[in-house]
Amino acid sequence: MKRVRKALLRGLLGLAVLGAVLALADPGRVAAQLGRAQPLWLAAGLLAGIASNAVSALRWRALARWLGADLGARDACRWYFQAMGLNALLPGAVVGGDVYRAVVLRRAGQDTAASSWSVVLDRASGLWMLCAIGGLGAAACAGVLAPWLELSPGAFVALLLAGTALWLALPWALPLVLRRWRPGWLAPLRTAVDRPDFNAQLGWQVLASVAVQLLSAAALAGGGLALGVQLSPAAWAFAIAPVFLMAALPVSVGGWGTREAAAVAALAPFGVAAPAAVGVGLIYGAYALAQGALGALAFGLPRRAG
């Protein structure tokens, strides 16, 4: 009963945030923006979003196989998009879909530790690169963003580049941390990072995560271009970090409300009016729903080996 109550509260909170954002942006103007959306750019953004999540699924598969789980490409894609369907329909942001992926892999007969750690590390890999690309995008937009923080562009760039460099170096420090900190529940991860192919696997994760985030930025930009919002690639690279991080907060259903609020805040420095920014957030949310529908359609399919 408590879980149902919490889920209901999260849903109501998300709707309240979305309602407040729409009220501030003027629902009529938001509707007018969406009514003028260009179909070709909408389709391009959706295709970029699908490609991003297909690469995400293959990144998860590589991690799972590296950790010892036998996961085929078809099952990885099918289960990943099913998880997206859960994320779009249930409260708790990405948590429900991540739990689903770990459970379904374990039920397929794979090791519990490998199933769980593959999902945890996959999510961490995505968030790690999301923040790094967001930081680099922000540095490239220093002339626009620095005045908002009352910093000189030079200081703004120096801080962001130094912080991003340290952030990118974190995974390579993982073996040292695990050798010094040895709780039992980290034993499977400690064994994995001590393997001689750790750097090769980490390199693959870097490349896959870069591709995922660039395609995600392209999807967000596609939604923006559909509404006539024309920004530099660096601006979209910056915007994905606050927009996606806010959408992942477990305080709404499918990120509705928090995503649109973040879009308004992230795009305002670039002169994007609130109605258009809200429209961009709504379109990206619609992309997630469309991909979630693909996952929902796959629920009834029989399991096939990859």
Please write the tens of the pLDDT for every residue from 169-192.
988 888 888 777 777 777 777 788
Burial tier of 182 (Cβ tally within 10 Å: 0-12, 13-18, 19+): exposed
Q: How far is it, in rounded angstroms, from Cα 305 to Cα 35?
A: 43
- What is d(CA 199, CA 189) in angstroms, rounded to the nearest whole number? 14
**pLDDT given for residue 269 in this prediction:** 95
Whether pTM exceeds 0.85: yes
pLDDT at 302: 43
Average of per-residue pLDDT across 253-268: 88
Compute φ and ψ for 43, nearest 5 degrees.
Answer: -65, -40
Decide: 55 and 212 in contact? Cβ < 8 Å.
Answer: yes
- Average pLDDT of the segment spanning 142-150: 92
Among residues 127, 103, 126, the alpha carbon closest in space to that of 115 is found at 103
The whole-number average pLDDT for the span 257-268 is 92
Q: Is the pLDDT of residue 204 over 70?
A: yes
Would you place residue 89 in the very low, low, confident or very high pLDDT band (cuts 50, 70, 90)?
Answer: low
Min mean pLDDT across 12-26, 133-147, 279-293 is at 12-26
**Single-letter residue type at 222:** G
Q: Which pLDDT score is estimated for 177?
A: 80
pLDDT on residue 236 = 97
Quick check: helix, strand or coil at residue 54?
helix
| Residue predicted with more confidence, 268 or 88 | 268
Please compute the mean of the pLDDT values over residues 82-99 and round it to a whole number: 72
Select, from the ranges 15-19, 186-190, 195-199, 233-237, the one with the highest average predicted confidence (pLDDT): 233-237
pLDDT of residue 208: 96
For range 45-57, the mean pLDDT: 95
- The CA-based dihedral angle spanning residues 136, 142, 144, 150, taken in that order and rounded to the nearest 10 degrees: 120
Query: Residue 151 is encoded by which pair of tokens?
Result: 């910093």
pLDDT classification of 14: cutoffs 50, 70, 90: low
Residue 260, burial from CB neighbour count under 10 angstroms (0-12, 13-18, 19+): buried
Distance, in Å, from the CA atom of 69 to the CA atom of 1, rounded to the nearest integer, reads 35
